[in-house]
Chain A
Amino acid sequence: MATDPGTIEGDFPVHFRYTAGIAGEKFLKEIKDNGRLVAARCSNCQLNYLPPRIYCERCMSKLEEYVEVENSGIVQSYTLCTQDREGKQLAEPVNVAFVRFPSAHGGIIHRTHGEVCVGDRVRAVFKPKSNRTGSILDIEFFEKEP
């Protein structure tokens, strides 16, 4: 539809449906069914990858062993989001942190309950099991350990 011959408007009429994959499925199911985080272990490199994956990118071994990650993490970094994905102002700003775990290589980005600082000890708070769907949002948020 030309509003004037100078420009034409249009769109890209697709939407997407992603699978979690072999490792992603395992990760999210452990969150949903057992309320816990798991990492994938590379025994060759002695690393526990979080989020888990079926390969070690260092040695390209196939990873099939999953290990529980203790629910006690450390805030590596954080920010306060004031806008949504499309740049509109949020009614309430959202605290987001990147949380690492001592036994794992990598970490999780998620919302926090209240403000946090680098170095704070935090733990994941899971939704009640009946409300979990196998999503990263089955974790309600991370909160500071008492």
Chain B
Amino acid sequence: MHVKKRVAVVGAGMTKFMRRAHETGKELAFEAAKQALDSAEMRIQDVDSVALGSAPDAFDGVHMKGEYLLDGAGGWQKPYSRNFVGGGTGVFSAIHGWWHVASGLFDTCLVVAEEKMSSCLPHPQTAFLTIFDNMIERPLGPNLIWIFALEMQRYMQRHKIPKEQIAQVAVKNKRNALDHPCAQIARAATLQDILTSEVLAWPVQRLDISPVSDGACAVLLASEDVARKITDSPVWISGVGWNLDTTYWTNRDLYFPRYVANAARMAYDMAGVTNPRRQIDFAEPYDPFDYKELHHMEGLLLCRKGEAPKLTAEGVTERDGKLPICPSGGLLGVGNPIAAAGLMKICELFWQLRGEAGKRQVAGDPRTAVAQAWGDLMQIGTVVVMQG
């Protein structure tokens, strides 16, 4: 693979993640974009291109959401484009921006991700019903949670994972999020809290799930030619990967996300990571549900299939453990405005690798980390490796 220019993240910003924001989507996008620019002491005039990610138009309830968000996202009279790959969008936005700079076409790219789910009533889940096949699935009266429940069940049964080990992820991430200033639902939850929460579609219970959220994030990318003029400590995007599997989800074995592994291999190859278990210092896999963190740890080849729950139980994935997972607090603690949630993980990697994560800082001078998102009909893995 031939990459023309190395790409660095030189600035980042985000709004609070909230259950219902007063700000419009445009205003949320602006607050994040402005913060990212200010953090790098850059003006919008110095930005060559803008890449925006946002999930279904049906959440915000506006037509052509990319165009709608453009002026808040700094895209006025610029080469501007929008990507959407479901839950994978946030991390994919960084890849979408990376293309702009790695290709040599632009020196800088502002990447913005936004979601305002609170506009969608009675519940954003109902905007998702068309994810099911209209002919042969919707007549069965499905609920979006079924998909997660069916995948979770298969994963649990295949590896004989007790629910307690999965619930531990929710406890960890909600607690980690207490140190994140933007967190929506940080709390010192106990295992009992998770295990006694309302059963929605067994094995999924209410506290296994991240919330509905509004919010936005942004990062500023720069090519190696200009990155060091902007900041003394650029954080390099050393590998990117993305991969999708068939929509015929009932023909796949859901216990392992092979498309996440494919995307991870692509990113690791580019980054020169030959032994992820050893070389990755911490990771931010996508955690919309607690079992997903474990599923994705295995998809990211950070451990063997079925091993992730054991590592969690042993404390390896705690912020002070040998392989911290979701030190930010993840979606389970910070919140889940779909596209912004994935980019939040890229922001976290940026701050951690510069030693700027404050109370969330992972010890031991981390150098290499991976962020990952996932979405559509359990189809896409989007992976970014960053190095300080």
Residues of chain A at the chain B interface (Cβ within 8 Å): 1-2, 8, 10, 12-25, 53-55, 57-60, 62
Contact = CB atoms under 8 A, between A and B. Distances in A.
Interface in B124-156: 126-127, 129-130, 134-135, 138-139
B45 A59 contact: yes
B72 A55 contact: yes
B61 A16 contact: yes
B66 to A, nearest CB: 15
- Among A2, A14, A23, A57, the most chain B Cβ lie within 10 Å of the Cβ of A14
B120 A14 contact: yes
Given A54-B27, A57-B71, A58-B76, A10 B22 contact: no
Contacts of B120: 14, 16
- Among A16, A58, A60, the most chain B Cβ lie within 10 Å of the Cβ of A60
B61 A18 contact: yes
B34 A22 contact: no
B119 A18 contact: yes
A55 B34 contact: yes
B30 interface: yes
Given A10-B134, A14-B127, A21 B121 contact: no
Contacts of A58: 44, 76
Given A19-B21, A25-B22, A57 B119 contact: no
Nearest to A61: B34
B26 A21 contact: yes
Nearest to A24: B24
Contacts of B74: 57, 60
A17 B58 CA distance: 12
B283 to A, nearest CB: 33
Interface residues of B, number: 33
B314 interface: no
Contacts of A60: 30, 33-34, 37, 43-44, 74
B19 to A, nearest CB: 13
Interface string B342-362: 000000000000000000000
Contacts of B43: 59-60
A17 B45 CA distance: 35
B24 A21 contact: yes
B23 interface: yes
Contacts of B22: 19, 21-22, 25
Nearest to A15: B121
Given A18-B119, A19-B22, A12 B58 contact: yes
B24 A19 contact: yes
Contacts of B139: 1
A20 B21 CA distance: 11
A16 B121 contact: yes
